[in-house]
Amino acid sequence: MDTVPQIIAEPVVWQPDRVAKKPKWPVPAAGVAMWRGIRGLCPACGKSKLFHGYLRVVDSCPECEAPLGRIRADDAPPYFTIFIVAHVVVGGMVMLNRATDLSDLTQALIWLPVSAALVLGLMRPVKGATVGLMLSLGLISNDA
């Protein structure tokens, strides 16, 4: 009877690179970065503007050179905005519906503009907070 040769290799232990590369720009705590982003300021230093236009993030901060344009928030800000607005609007609709006897058309004429105004008003601060959180977590894309 043949015996199967046993090949026992030494286990390879993965060694992570524990020396984190320190970025050239300041990295504040998440709460500080998010508050700066909500106010439309650079989440890293808080000295310059985060946005160029309504929702376009500047390529980099002129003060601290943080690569803000490489922070890809993608669909997170609209998701969070819809989440917030839906809770406010649906809660308001239910309360108004219980308190009054308004028609569906009247309810729609109230809540559609309220929804649009809330979305337009919240999208920018929510995106700023998201970019701030991503900066403090180091979620910066490598591609230019």
Q: Using the rule CB under 5 A, is 50 a contact of Zn ion?
A: no
| 70: its two tokens | 């490489």
| In contact, 10 and 31? CB cutoff 8 Å | no
| In contact, 38 and 51? CB cutoff 8 Å | no
| In contact, 43 and 107? CB cutoff 8 Å | no
Query: What number of chain residues touch Zn ion (CB under 5 A)?
Result: 7
Residue 44 or 134 having the CB closest to Zn ion: 44
| In contact, 54 and 128? CB cutoff 8 Å | no
Q: Using the rule CB under 5 A, is 45 a contact of Zn ion?
A: yes
Binding Zn ion (rule: CB under 5 A), the pick from 42, 85, 118, 129 is: 42
Residue 75 C-beta: closest distance to Zn ion, Å: 25
Residue 63 or 93 having the CB closest to Zn ion: 63
User: Interacting stretch for Zn ion, rule CB under 5 A, among 15-23, 36-44, 86-94, 132-140?
Assistant: 36-44
Residue 63 or 96 having the CB closest to Zn ion: 63
Q: Using the rule CB under 5 A, is 123 a contact of Zn ion?
A: no
Residue 26 C-beta: closest distance to Zn ion, Å: 8
Q: Which of residues 56-95 bind Zn ion (CB under 5 A)?
A: 61, 63-64, 66
Q: Using the rule CB under 5 A, is 133 a contact of Zn ion?
A: no
Name, in order, each residue with C-beta under 8 angstroms of 113's C-beta and a sequence gap of 6 or more.
Answer: none
| In contact, 47 and 65? CB cutoff 8 Å | no
Residue 16 φ/ψ, nearest 5 degrees? -70, 155
| 74: its two tokens | 């993608």
Collapsed DSSP state (helix, strand, coil) of residue 51: strand
User: What does the binding site for Zn ion look like in residue numbers (CB under 5 A)?
Assistant: 42, 44-45, 61, 63-64, 66
